[in-house]
Structure 1
């Protein structure tokens, strides 16, 4: 089986579960750190001829991260493309199982059981917090409705103030973000690499710098994400 992955989360999941199956991945696929495969460009601008030249049996992709035109070009070249959709944790678990089976896994990997258990065993939050979650600056963009990261935060007792917005990633003026007075501002390090200077400089509310891999990736990182995110968010909440 020869697989090319166009999604960092799926790259890590396939590489950890089925070593040697991956033959290509994007430049943004940083885990596992020792992954040695052909690099085929970014998630939004993959090198389609380079992918075709790798002769993959399957390309795994995501409806949000990858462009329909690129996936159509791969299919037109006779390559099978599996496209995932992930908006919440249970869906992520199902989609990971589907991808791994398509890549040749005989059964469900242990890490996926561990991830599901880690999120199922969360304590009931004593007090829920509110948050805004910027994902870009200049212009300021935030998590809106129906996002995987928003679902993870909600499970940790943190409610996204823009979860009811009509758009999934709305542009919101900074003054409006400040005026919402969230309990915490969650600042991931991807796609925009937020730093501590983007918190106190821009917001009166406490800020929580988090790893994008723990907040937005759905793969082996889910085994530790609940504990890591929960710790960071708890410390930020303690600053209120």
Structure 2
């Protein structure tokens, strides 16, 4: 089996479970740190000629991360393309199992079982809190409806205020974000790299939780430690 992954979290899942299966991955596939494969460009602008030159048995993609036009072009060139859809934690587990099985895994890896157990064992949060969750600035963009990260936060007791928005990642002016008066602002370090100097200064009246984007938005081995890592960061953000 020879696979190419166009999704960073799925790259990590396949690489740690089935060493040697991946022949190619995007420039944004940063985990595992020692991953030694052909780089095929970005998630939104992959070099199709590089992918085809690898002659993969399978290309792994995601309906949100990757462009339909690129996937259609790969199919037209004879590639088998597996497209995942991940908008909740349970769906992530199901899709991870499907991807790994398609790549030849004989069963669920230990890390996936540990991740499922970690999320199943979550205690009921003492009190629910509301949050604004920016994912970009210049312009400001936030989590909207039907997102994986939104489901992750909801399971940790955080209800983001734009969950009912018509768009999944709406652009919302900063004054409107402030006017929503949430209990806190959740600032991940990807896709936009929010830091203590680039984010919290925009919300001087609100507590801000700087969180790991990998633990908030990736669906892979990081899911096993995400409840603990995110929970600690969220608990630290109090008025």
TM-score of the alignment, normalized to the shorter chain, above 0.5: yes
Match of 2:209 in 1: 208
CA–CA distance in structure 2, aligned partners of residues 48 and 228 of structure 1:
36
> 1:199 Cα deviation (Å)?
3.4
CA–CA distance in structure 1, aligned partners of residues 180 and 99 of structure 2:
39
CA–CA distance in structure 1, aligned partners of residues 200 and 100 of structure 2:
42
> 1:15 Cα deviation (Å)?
0.2
With structure 2 as the length reference, what TM-score do the two structures score? 0.98
Match of 1:6 in 2: 6
CA–CA distance in structure 1, aligned partners of residues 115 and 184 of structure 2:
25
Q: What are the within-5 Å matches in structure 2 for residues 33-112 of structure 1? A: 33-112=33-112
> 1:8 Cα deviation (Å)?
0.2
With structure 1 as the length reference, what TM-score do the two structures score? 0.98
Structure 2 unaligned blocks of 5 or more = none
Determine whether 1:175 maps to 2:175: yes
CA–CA distance in structure 2, aligned partners of residues 69 and 142 of structure 1:
26
Contact 1:185 1:199 in 2 (8 A): no
Aligned partner of residue 79 in structure 2, secondary structure: coil
Structure 1 unaligned blocks of 5 or more = none
Aligned partner of residue 182 in structure 1, secondary structure: coil
> 1:20 Cα deviation (Å)?
0.4
Determine whether 1:221 maps to 2:222: yes
Aligned partner of residue 73 in structure 1, secondary structure: helix
CA–CA distance in structure 2, aligned partners of residues 131 and 199 of structure 1:
14
Residues 17-48 of structure 1 show CA distances to partners (whole Å, capped at 9, x for unaligned) of 00000000000000000000000000000000
CA–CA distance in structure 2, aligned partners of residues 205 and 32 of structure 1:
35
Match of 2:120 in 1: 120
Q: Which 4+ runs in 1 deviate beyond 6 A?
A: none
Superposition CA RMSD, Å: 0.6
CA–CA distance in structure 2, aligned partners of residues 63 and 221 of structure 1:
21
Residues 130-158 of structure 1 show CA distances to partners (whole Å, capped at 9, x for unaligned) of 10100110110000000000000000000
Match of 1:232 in 2: 233
Match of 1:198 in 2: 198
CA–CA distance in structure 1, aligned partners of residues 86 and 233 of structure 2:
24
CA–CA distance in structure 2, aligned partners of residues 152 and 201 of structure 1:
25
CA–CA distance in structure 2, aligned partners of residues 87 and 212 of structure 1:
16
Q: What are the within-5 Å matches in structure 2 for residues 19-38 of structure 1? A: 19-38=19-38
Residues 181-222 of structure 1 show CA distances to partners (whole Å, capped at 9, x for unaligned) of 111111111111111123331112111111110000000000
Match of 2:146 in 1: 146
